[in-house]
Every structure is written in C-alpha cells, then in structure tokens.
Chain A
Amino acid sequence: MTPNQLMFAIFSAVIIIFSILTVTSRRILRAATYLLFVLVATGGMYFLLRFNYLAAIQLALYAGGIVVLIIFSILLTSHIAEKLEKPGLKKIIPAFLAAAGGALISIATILQHNFPAEVVSGGDRTNITMIAKSLISTEKYGYALPFEVISILLLAAMVGAIILAKKRKD
C-alpha cells in the first residue's frame, strides 16, 4: 500500500462516517461540526489529487465560510439543551429508501463509466494563471458570462437580505 492509498482510505473513511453522523446526530451543533470534518476531508482529497487551488478554496469557502455561517446562525437561535426529536418510522423508511436509491444510482453510474487512467507525477495539475485566465475569458471554455451572472445573483441576494433585515417604519 502506498502512502497515497493510505491517505485516500483515511479521507474516505472520515467522509463516510461523518456524513452519516451529520444526518443522524440529534444535536444540531454537533451535526454542523461533523459537516465541517466532512468538508475538510474533501479538501484533503483534493490535495491528494494535487488540485491545490481547489483544495484551498474548499477549505476557505466551505470549511471556513459556510460552516462558520451555519454555526453562527445556530449560536443565535438554539440553546445547548435542545435536542431534535426522534423521527418516527414513517419518516425513517422513505428517507432511507431515497438515500439508498440515490446511492445505488450513483454507484452504478460510477462503476459503468470508463475513467481514462492518467498518471501525474509531482507538481501541481492546476495552474493559477490558467484558472484566472479562463475565469475572465469570453472565448471557448471561458467563464466570463457565468461569473457575471453569479455576481448578479449574489448582489440580488444581498439586497434581499438587507431589505428583510431592515426595520420597517410603522
């Protein structure tokens, strides 16, 4: 077993175990913490694939940004003694069936797909200059339009949030 395979096994185990714990935990902040572990392990997986830039973005945005936001909102709204109700059998069975069906479909697709084998030795696979250029390029494989569309979406979301949070005069 090579060190890479060992790390892959560790990261996959962390991702699987903590994903299950995230959805089964009855304490909401613990669930958020488990989600953090899943996202950090996913970042580790990207490092293993030498997608350094993607890994750092995963850590900064998901682990450092979104999870912090989730924890922040839990901190503001929930009390430490609160526990989520135990779901009844009526909820567990459909949820389990949906999850199992989704897992089956994706596993079947992955097994059927023929991944082209590619061995990359050393170095980084993604070049930041390349990413930056394709992000603002308007040519083929350029992301200028999606980038701008997402900015408009974010702007709309921010304006909406401010209007919702603003005190009304009456």
Chain B
Amino acid sequence: MNFSIYDFTSFTQWIDKLLYDNLPAFWAVVVEMTIIGLLVLLFYALIGLFLVYAERKVCAFMQNRVGPNRVGPFGFFQTIADLLKLLMKELVYIKNADSLLFNIAPFIVIIASFMAIAAIPFAKGLHAIDFDIGVLYVIAVSSLGVVGILLAGWSSNNKYSLIGAMRSGAQIVSYELSVGLSLVTIIILAGTMQFSAMVEGQANGWFIFKGHIPAFIAFIVFLIASTAETNRGPFDLAEAESELTAGFHTEYSGIKFAFFFLAEYMNMFILASIAATVFLGGWMPFHVGGWEGFNHIMDFIPPFVWYIGKTFFIIWIMMWFKWTFPRLRIDQLLTLEWKYLLPINLVNILIMAFIVLMGWHF
C-alpha cells in the first residue's frame, strides 16, 4: 500500500480490498458502512464543536472583546465544557406538547444535514459517495431539514415557537430557489453535476474565475441565499432573541437543543463546502492555466488543507455577515429574495448559457 496525503484513492481501495478479502460480501458492506458512518459522525461532532468556538471568537473579535479565554489555551476547550454541560442537563418534559413529533423533530434536522455530508468531496479519493447528480442530491437532502424545524415549532405548543417556525419555513422555502439557481449557473459552465468531475474541471482555474462576471454574481447570490437558508444573521428572524425568545427551539433543553444548535452549524459547514467545491475548486490547489512552475509549487500543499482552508474562509465570511449586519424584517427578507435575487439569478443563468454557447469562458 502506498499511502500519500495527496491522493487517498489507493488508501481507501486498500481498506475496501482488505475487508472484502477477509469477510463475506454482506458483512464487508456492513463493516464498511459502519466505519464510514462513524468517521463522518466523529468529523461532524469535531467540526461542530470547533465552529461554535470559532463563532464566539470571531464574534468577540468583531465586537472588540476577548471571547472565551478561561478553559484551556485561548479558551479552546470551552465548547467541550459546554457540550458536557448540555449532555448532563435535564430533558424537560413538555406536558401539552405533541411528544412524538417533539422528539422526532431534532432528529429530522440532524439526519438531513448528516445525509448531505456524505456526498461532499474532502480530498482526492476521500469521498463517501460520488453521485453523478452530486449537487442535486445535496440540495434535495438539505431541503428536508426545514420539515424538522416546522415540526419543532408546531409541536412545542408555544406561540413563539410557532411564529419562529413559520418565519423560518417561509424563509428557507424561498431562499432554496436562489441557492439552487445559482448552482445551476455553475452546472451550465461545468457541464456536470458530479462533484469529482466538477473539481477535476477546475484544474486549470477555479470556476469563479473561468466563468467571468456571471460566475462571480452567482457566487455572491449563493453566499447571501445560503446564509439565509441556514437561518443565520442577518436572516435570523426565525430565532430573533429579542422578540421570540429563541424561536422554534424555545422549548428544547439539554441534548435535544444541542442537536438543533449543531445542525445549524453543520448546515453552515455543508453550504460553505459546497461553495468552496463548486466555485473555488474544492480540494484543487490554486492553479493558473499555463504557469507550470507556480502550479507545481501549489501542488505541494495537500488537497485536504486546500479544502479546509477554502471552506473556513467562506464560513468566516458568513460569520462576518452575522456580526455586522442588522437583522432584516420578514417583508424585507422576502422582497430581497423574490424581487432582487431571483430575477438577477434568472438573467444570470441566461448570460452564462450564452457565454458557454459562444465559448467565451476559459
């Protein structure tokens, strides 16, 4: 087995072969799925914890504060302490709630984001499942999460939760359109929906540069719409603390609250990694067509580092949005989507199709 941090293909194939040689085919599949599931779950939890820490530090930085600084160096273990606290908290039983739906709702939210993460390419060969419809699959699966939010709001039997859920539903359903259409712009340019083929297609320049202005507009629209889809500020009116206490998860406590909290951060991570993969080349190093020496130097940085770097850059932009813009009203939110983003997007797709048709892109 030749293992390298530049290409995981041989490593994953080695594990696959090892399992199939030593186990009956049925158990090999089961063990393989369990390993992948556990790895993704571990990754999920670690990234979630880190993002909460990062959010608090970025927020503190924006507001000229220090942020968490007591637990561990630079407060690095603060979120682990928070997690332990959440695990040990009592799960409050709500007497007049619809207990079945109340208990299912956090799982629907978390399963939706968990399913989406399976199709994301982390590095060359480090990719749980490479669908030929990768982008469409991620969009389809992540649209399930809103069901959990709506159920949570309604089954809590609380007016704040219900209003929060309604706002969140209206918001996610409308902004999903813009997310999908801005990705369609790049699908036209790439000519494929498969994530691996998309990344390969960016070997001589990222799509955001290859597609001229329409690709850049699509990137901006995607950033705005995905921030709205994750219910984050300035679009966080679903859980506006000052008016709705905490929105749809007001009644949740302990680990069930943590599920919503984690899912929100993971959705942000998933959308950021889609943006990184589709617009900024995913794990593909920064290449400029024709500059052989420069491209060769860039290849020395492992793909995983590129992927994480780009994803966290976009996450940082989304956090920057949250802590600098004031919250929108619901009518402003819907006006932004239906009167500005959607028409811009539709015209943008036409321009992109024209550019691809004329062969003006690189």
Contacts and interface: CB of A to CB of B under 8 A. Distances in A.
A68 B98 contact: no
A30 interface: yes
Size class of B's contact patch? Answer: 35 or more
B78 interface: no
Contacts of A48: none
A36 B100 CA distance: 15
A28 to B, nearest CB: 11
Size class of A's contact patch? Answer: 20 to 34
Contacts of B26: 1-3
Contacts of B193: 128
A124 B137 CA distance: 14
A64 B116 CA distance: 14
A67 to B, nearest CB: 6
A133 interface: no
Interface stretch (B6-14, B141-149, B239-247, B304-312): B141-149
A68 B133 contact: no
A33 interface: yes
Contact of A56 (B98, B140, B169): B140
B267 to A, nearest CB: 14
Contact of A72 (B25, B139, B169): B169
B140 A60 contact: yes
Interface string B64-103: 0000000000000000000000000000000011101100
B339 to A, nearest CB: 15
A101 B269 CA distance: 50
A106 B101 CA distance: 33
A41 interface: no
Given A64-B146, A75-B162, A128-B193, A33 B104 contact: yes
Interface stretch (B43-51, B150-158, B316-324): B150-158
B146 A68 contact: yes
Interface in B149-173: 150-151, 153-155, 157, 162, 165-166, 169, 173
Interface of A: 1-3, 27, 29-30, 33, 36, 40, 52-53, 56-57, 59-60, 63-65, 67-68, 71-72, 74-76, 80-81, 124, 127-128
